[in-house]
Structure 1
């Protein structure tokens, strides 16, 4: 494994589940500096690291100034990682060292490419560009502003939209993975990994997993939303983490119905606004703008061949 070339006084080690809070704090500080807001939640990290296939110690590294985490990186999948550096420690070469670690870690797993998302024009974006990373795709974070009108989107006759029942979770997983794998080049996500990010996510409640069933009772669409509880006491925000419709059931308004349902149930549970992210591979940006969402930040996924 690549040895990090760090400034004097800094150390590194693999991370453990107990470091999730420290990683959240570094990522939140970086987002605050780059975006003026914080999108990440500690629950996101806990759920992602809770996937049975993910070995935290083998997939992460942390950079420390004494006992304080000031930078971290992880390889989350065959071709993707994430990293963050405390803004107070920028310009010291930590980001470059973490990028090289990610490359080496991915290469050791047999990967031929590694990439990560960064806010467009941010310090991380500029660093990766200077290191030779290309843009693979563009992502947008969209929000439905507080007080925005939620326009009803009726379902076709015979269809129902409701909370998913536990016995239907495997069918929900199938619909989601079939849809996402139409444009995402990756292995199929195991069911247990999928559920670790839903039912295993801190704060999960059954109402957060939604489905559309047809007249025969088959699951043909799904949405998963979370409720982001802010640490400053401001109202929570609903985040639509996944939304998918079976290929043969599209162009009937099911996706829009799932979207506005997520907005509605989010408000019922205290959210003043709703948000989601989408990228240029899906072609779904127009769908979300049609239901009143507005782009609030732009991200790029930069990658390098190994």
Structure 2
């Protein structure tokens, strides 16, 4: 079977969203990809769509999609790759293209190799024997967690003495949330430092309801933690990230922020909230989420290949 390949354009976002939701239905049983997320990906300021994106068509039907971007400005390169089950040859063509481009981008950064990462559902539509044969291997597993919400039961928590939770309402608060993100996630696997403007794009700040972003402070240390939530996903409310700086961990602040988000979503009539977590997170995050009623929705693996 022959496929027509071309770069993606911003106007392809609806077709890509439809493809990703078709894959969602196969992998997790329901569509969970929103148009604005794809639009943001295609509008990433670091992506040259003509060189960093690929679409594969079987006649008029879009059957595979791939994207490469570079947050590290070094050897670490990231990619997305999606293919329908009956079109693995198209997926293989796009893998070859994104691998070549990743190495090109790493070398342009002055690196001698590319360390390329790709996130796939643990039971993906992609043929895993195909990517293993190309030299890819799993280096990490993440869980997408979810929790049912109950209006009238999930209420705003009362902070303990000396602790304050406030909404991230002003520009200074947003810059503080960015600084806390950099500090609290610095030790995490695959963390890439991001300047403020890049971070704003990554969290889709232009669409973000900042009343769903909170900072937590304590008397002796000041601002020590944050939580960023989103209410623009059709499937569920979403907690994008929650972090507490190392010197303030163990005080229950992460759980306090979680319950604040649960209450806010329940008050809006949401019945489910979700988030993603690294299963090997060393800060105790998986246990924190379990204590607060979150359970596994599905798993995602990080695949890696080193190219030189």
Determine if the alignment matches structure 1 residue 139 to structure 2 residue 135: no
1:184 deviates by 3.2
Q: Check whether the contact 2:225–2:243 (CA below 8 A) recurs between aligned residues.
A: yes
Change (3 A) 1:82 1:297: same
Aligned partner of residue 124 in structure 1, secondary structure: coil
1:53 deviates by 3.0
Q: Which residue of 2 aligns with 1:299?
A: 300
Q: Which residue of 2 aligns with 1:124?
A: 126
* Residue in structure 1 matching 2:95, options 88, 99, 102: 99
1:129-278 aligned within 5 A: 129-147=132-150, 150=154, 154-167=158-171, 168-198=173-203, 200-202=205-207, 204-215=208-219, 218-230=222-234, 237-278=236-277
Structure 1 alignment gaps of length 5 or more: 1-6, 231-235
Distance 1:305 1:94 in 2: 22
Change (3 A) 1:85 1:181: same
1:91 deviates by 3.9
Q: Check whether the contact 1:161–1:213 (CA below 8 A) recurs between aligned residues.
A: yes
1:156 deviates by 3.9
1:201 deviates by 4.7
Distance 1:70 1:171 in 2: 42
Distance 1:209 1:152 in 2: 14
Change (3 A) 1:174 1:50: farther
Q: Calculate the TM-score normalised by the size of structure 2.
A: 0.85
C-alpha distance after superposition, 1:194-240 (max 9, x if no partner): 112335354x222122211233794311111112443xxxxx52110
* Residue in structure 2 matching 1:113, options 90, 112, 115: 115
Larger mean CA deviation between 273-282 and 67-76 belongs to 67-76
Q: Which residue of 2 aligns with 1:288?
A: 289
Q: Calculate the TM-score normalised by the size of structure 1.
A: 0.86
Distance 2:204 2:306 in 1: 35
RMSD: 2.4
Aligned partner of residue 126 in structure 2, secondary structure: helix
Q: Check whether the contact 1:119–1:125 (CA below 8 A) recurs between aligned residues.
A: no
Distance 2:39 2:169 in 1: 24
1:34-53 aligned within 5 A: 34-53=27-46
1:106 deviates by 0.7
1:154 deviates by 4.7
